[in-house]
Amino acid sequence: MSTTTTETKSPPRERAVGRGIDRVDGPEKTTGKARFAAEFPYPDLAYAALVHATVARGRITGIDVKAAEAVTGVLSVLTHLNAPVLKPAPARSMLDLSTMVSATSVNYLNTDEVHWDGQPVAVVVAESLEAAQRGAGLVEVTYQEFPAVVDFAAEEANAKPQPNSMLGAGSAKKGDAEAALAVAPVSVDLRFTTPPHNHNAIEPHATTAVWDGDRLTVHEGSQAISWMRKHLAYRFGIPERNVRMTSPYVGGGFGGKGSVWPGTILTALAARATGRAVRMMLTREGVYRTVGGRTPSIQRVALGAGQDGRLTALIQTSVTRTGKVGGNSESVAEAARHLYDAENILIQQNLVEMDLLPNTFMRAPGVAIGTFALEAAIDELAGELGVDPIELRMRNEPARSPLDGKRFAHRMLREAYALGAERFGWAERTPEPGSMRDGRWLVGMGVATAYHSSVQFTANVTVRLSADGTVVVRCGFQEMGMGGATVQAQIAADELGVPFEAVRVEYGDSDLPTGPMAGGSAQTASIAASLLSACEKLKGSVLALARRSGDSPLRGQRLAAVEARDGGLYRRDRPGAGESYEAILSRAGRPSVEAAIGSESGLGALAGQVRFMAKFINDQRRWVKAASGAQFCEVRVDPDTGEVRVSRWLGVFDVGRVINAKTAASQLRGGIVMGIGMALSEETLVDPRNGRVMNPGLGDYHIPVHADVPPIDILYLDEPDPTMPLGLIGIGEVSITGVAGAIANAVHHATGKRVRDLPITLDKLL
């Protein structure tokens, strides 16, 4: 009898999780080989371009397409008079999350109604990009114009209470905050305003669509391929399995590619009408006109405290907008529910509906702008009290969620501030505004708390282990720079005890097992939860093969008694006793073993949704789960011009266990960079007379450039969250929160001026 016991002599291999491994798609992205949505070649490819409405609300009374049709190369001009029939978008329902991807309720080119300035009213399809664009410029449209509600500032008084939903309650109350505020020894009562923002992913939204009979293939930069596939199938009246959406690379999303916007539908429509493969990349202006951004807000934050700095009253109210034809309400005051242990709390979020392109989620919806106001107000209160702003936060740090007494799954803000203060040199800050200088520059230091609730979606995952020890993980998720394929490979490598390099992750294709959407900072944890289960199931199957063999040293072993390492399964009680996967699989005559989590059948998928809802509700009842952190910034302000430069940054984050220190740091830095833009330069200007975006381009909407961004230090507390898979908390959004507040506070420290209206441009400091 031969022995199959293998003695391992090599030292224990370093685990993949936690290491700063280079992202697996690096070689493709640095050589130009990574293929984005507008880069799939088809031999008969045609190009499409949009014609945008020039009124905010009205009815089309005439469309003259003759000049456009006369352009050499133009194949077709589609309007509401000749476009194929589309089903209207399905109503949104929490029972079917895919319905949430309807960006608007408008049935494009199936109606003569116009609901916002910029709505597509015609599509020109041509042999070349240039001919399509030329044709689009020649379509003449006349309108009967109706009165339209387009001036956000003027609508404040008409705002209505935001309805409660699973995505966030519109209002909340503990005690009588107004009464407590009125008698508080120290108080502030402040009004803040923030403008609309646009995502401005550098890749404009792009779609390549091709029909084969009643089968549709769509290449799309998408944050939600499975939900979008279902939406497209519904709109075109074909079975879901007839639609395939691929999205191997997404050139930035930030929420802007999480819904079905007009360009996607209309490219598929144009392909159907012309029988050609059609590509449409929106112009940058087209992105502003047809893809919603972040809502503007008007906020009130009022704080009352005793002389000891303990909060007696916390009030945060907001007015935001949606479109009359769609959009999402935002939980602007989300952080105020969880950050401070106030005796009395009042939260009231209100909405106005407008004749504008609906808003949509943009990185930390609600919270990014809400933490600006809340954290600037805390700083102002600290000034009134004469207390250090970190100390004031620590005096009001709650043991349980202040509004409802729920437990925090994880809460380390004290540690974050302590570590940050030490590393940033907070003790060197002299409290008096205007008291710190570097040459001619006024120097200011500010802090703010970052906070973002954590959620999980369902994810179907399969894992296949081959006899040669290689592993393939399959899940239809989306990769837009988070490093998804890299971190999931790290997780699978450790769970199965194989080298990181032996794992390949397939994603970005709706033919794969249904993945979660990339949103709500939920993707990594959602997949990880299923991947861990799938790996466990797979090890069980492999062990079962081994147990059947009388030769195996694993005979009679339970799964709990073995561990996966060094490319095989080994007994925990006798480290040398075990077998390689190769040995187990080849003896069993199996080329591979596969395990799957989640069902693709209609009934199975429904059961999955129900399980998701049950877990979601149960989690919400038991825990407050969130990523959080402490943002430290230093600014320099030119005393003559009011120019603000961010000169130093440190973010200390509690994001549970960090899977990949390198990609996580990049993602956290990215949120801070976007927050710097929000604080100092970003603003979508909407003409209050006609609802037209006035600065639809990167020359006029200023996102941060290299020169605006200082070295950004990132520290992790790296303590696993006991309620999350592997203890990880999603990191996509937390780092933008608090940024604008920290900068506003630092600007005040440098100059003595409080700017409560974003962005903090130099005219507001002069």
Partner 1 sequence: MVTLRMRVNGVTRSLELEPWVSLLDALRERLGLTGTKKGCDQGACGACTVLVDGERINSCLALAVQYEDRDITTIEGVTHPIQQAFIEHDGFQCGYCTSGQICSAIGMLAEHGAGMPSAVTEPGASGLSEAEIRERMSGNLCRCGAYNGIVDAIKEVAR
In the complex, minimum distance from the CB of residue 482 to partner 1, in angstroms, rounded to a whole number: 7
> What Cα–Cα distance (Å) separates residue 300 from each residue in 195, 337, 371, 378, 456?
15, 15, 12, 13, 31
Contact window for partner 1 (CB under 8 A) among 127-135, 297-305, 529-537, 722-730: 127-135
**Position among 301, 672, 717, 758 found at the interface with partner 1 (CB under 8 A):** 672
- Cβ count near 285 (within 10 Å): 16
Is the Cβ of residue 57 or residue 648 nearer to partner 1 in the bound state?
A: 648
**Position among 76, 458, 580, 663 found at the interface with partner 1 (CB under 8 A):** 663
Residues 710 to 729: which contact partner 1 by CB under 8 A?
A: 711-712
Which residues, in sequence order, are bridge partners of residue 193? 298, 757
| Distance in angstroms between the alpha carbons of the first and the last residue of the chain | 89
Encoded tokens for 362: 């943009």
CA distance 372 to 757: 10
CA distance 641 to 340: 37
Residues 328 to 347: which contact partner 1 by CB under 8 A?
A: none
- Contact between 9 and partner 1 by CB under 8 A: the answer reads no
Give helix 484-496 / helix 523-547 axis angle, nearest 10°: 30
CA distance 683 to 666: 24
- Contact between 466 and partner 1 by CB under 8 A: the answer reads no
- Contact between 376 and partner 1 by CB under 8 A: the answer reads no
- Contact between 707 and partner 1 by CB under 8 A: the answer reads yes
Which residues are annotated as catalytic? 733
**Position among 278, 665, 734, 750 found at the interface with partner 1 (CB under 8 A):** 665
- Contact between 361 and partner 1 by CB under 8 A: the answer reads no
- Contact between 699 and partner 1 by CB under 8 A: the answer reads yes
CA distance 64 to 80: 12
**Position among 11, 31, 439, 603 found at the interface with partner 1 (CB under 8 A):** 31
**Position among 5, 13, 39, 551 found at the interface with partner 1 (CB under 8 A):** 39
- Contact between 670 and partner 1 by CB under 8 A: the answer reads yes
Longest CA pairwise span in the chain (Å): 91
**Position among 263, 483, 691, 725 found at the interface with partner 1 (CB under 8 A):** 483
Cα 328 to chain centroid, rounded:
14
Write the interaction track for partner 1 spanning residues 486-525; mark x where CB under 8 A is met and - where it is not.
----------------------------------------
Is the Cβ of residue 305 or residue 480 nearer to partner 1 in the bound state?
A: 480
CA distance 739 to 570: 48
143 CB-near residues (< 8 Å, 6+ apart): 53, 54, 55, 58, 59, 60, 61, 114
Contact window for partner 1 (CB under 8 A) among 35-43, 443-451, 502-510, 743-751: 35-43
CA distance 629 to 412: 8
- Contact between 34 and partner 1 by CB under 8 A: the answer reads yes
User: How many CA atoms are closer than 13 Å to the CA of 21, on its beta-carbon side?
Assistant: 25
Contact window for partner 1 (CB under 8 A) among 48-56, 317-325, 353-361, 478-486: 478-486
Residue 627 has what DSSP assignment? E
Contact window for partner 1 (CB under 8 A) among 278-286, 330-338, 491-499, 514-522: 278-286
Backbone angles phi, psi at 21, to 5 degrees: -75, 140
**Position among 9, 33, 440, 621 found at the interface with partner 1 (CB under 8 A):** 33
Task: Report the SS3 class of residue 589.
Answer: coil
526 CB-near residues (< 8 Å, 6+ apart): 456, 457, 458, 459, 516
- Contact between 223 and partner 1 by CB under 8 A: the answer reads no
Q: Are strands 461-466 and 471-474 parallel, antiparallel or unpaired?
A: antiparallel
- Contact between 28 and partner 1 by CB under 8 A: the answer reads yes
- Contact between 199 and partner 1 by CB under 8 A: the answer reads yes
CA distance 306 to 40: 64
**Position among 58, 106, 196, 203 found at the interface with partner 1 (CB under 8 A):** 203
CA distance 361 to 366: 8
In the complex, minimum distance from the CB of residue 670 to partner 1, in angstroms, rounded to a whole number: 4
- Contact between 480 and partner 1 by CB under 8 A: the answer reads yes
- Contact between 204 and partner 1 by CB under 8 A: the answer reads yes
Q: Residue type at 508?
A: G
Contact window for partner 1 (CB under 8 A) among 126-134, 167-175, 437-445, 618-626: 126-134
Q: Which residues bind partner 1 (CB under 8 A)?
A: 22-23, 25-36, 38-39, 41, 128-130, 199-204, 249-254, 281, 283-284, 480-483, 662-663, 665-667, 669-674, 697-699, 703-707, 709, 711-712
